[in-house]
Amino acid sequence: EVQLVESGGGLVKPGGSLRLSCAASGFTFSNAWMSWVRQAPGKGLEWVGRIKSKTDGGTTDYTAPVKGRFTISRDDSKDTLYLQMNSLKIEDTAVYYCTTELSIPYWGQGTLVTVSS
Amino acid sequence: SYELTQPPSVSVSPGQTARITCSGDALPQHYAYWYQQKPGQAPVLVIYKDSERPSGIPERFSGSSSGTTVTLSISGVQAEDEADYYCQSADSSGIYVFGTGTKVTVL
């Protein structure tokens, strides 16, 4: 059974940093492209970015609002995906979901990030 | 930037068919996925690769594609189908994008 468990969310001040983790199990993590998706309170879903598998180059893509501030990385030895978020803004407040880009996508339950002074 | 356009809301009586459209110029080149989201819950995949249904999803959910529009149909709508629905696909660069979302109300 595929499982994705996010952690690391919390309250942070504007300009601060936070690192989210996503522990994966039930599939071959090293072969999977992985993404982060967020949802601000009362708003729709927004794709944040992805990291490809190392065999496909391990490169990353990001949506424009987070480019230069967010970094996605992976540790295949730990089956874990990361989202490093720097220079956080109030508008980054959202639930952040970890997702797989497999033939059938899977999602975690999300972790809440609140950016507030 | 690339956009996927959905109607903001769809209302349907129990037992009828709800149809939700999603329009985007790159849809002929990339698969579409549909998610159901109920308040306070994570999204649930109901259709992948335009028309495939994951295990555990009722047969009343179906997907179709025609040109630059994909459609999620819910036949024999039940009260439990009331939720927000989002389409997802990719732009010409392979960057994922979500539709604007449709609130389905069961009258």
- Chain B CB contacts of A66 under 8 Å are none
pLDDT at A101 over 90: no
> What band does B1 get if pLDDT is binned at 50, 70 and 90?
confident
Res B28 pLDDT > 90: yes
Indicate whether A46 pLDDT > 90. Answer: yes
Chain A CB contacts of B88 below 8 Å: 45, 47
Residue A48 CA, distance from chain mean position: 7
For residue B50, pLDDT beyond 90: yes
Q: B residues 27-66 near A, CB within 8 Å?
A: 33, 35, 37, 42-43, 45, 48-49, 54
A17-45 pLDDT, tens per residue? Answer: 999 999 999 999 999 999 999 999 999 99
Q: Convert the pLDDT of each residue in A49-98 to its tens digit.
A: 999 999 999 999 999 999 999 999 999 999 999 999 999 999 999 999 99
B64: helix, strand or coil: strand
Check residue A60 and give its pLDDT.
97
Residue B93: pLDDT band by 50, 70, 90 thresholds? confident
A27: exposed, middle or buried (C-beta count within 10 Å: 0-12, 13-18, 19+)?
Answer: middle
pLDDT of residue A86: 98
| CB-CB under 8 Å, B42 with A44 | no
- Coil/strand/helix, residue B56: coil
Q: A103: which chain B residues are within 8 Å (Cβ-Cβ)?
A: 48-49
Whether the per-residue pLDDT at A109 is higher than 90: the answer is yes
The answer to whether B12 and B18 have CB atoms below 8 angstroms apart is yes
For A50, B20, B84, the CA distances from B77, given in Å and listed in that order, are: 35, 13, 14
Euclidean distance between CA atoms B90 and B32, whole angstroms = 8
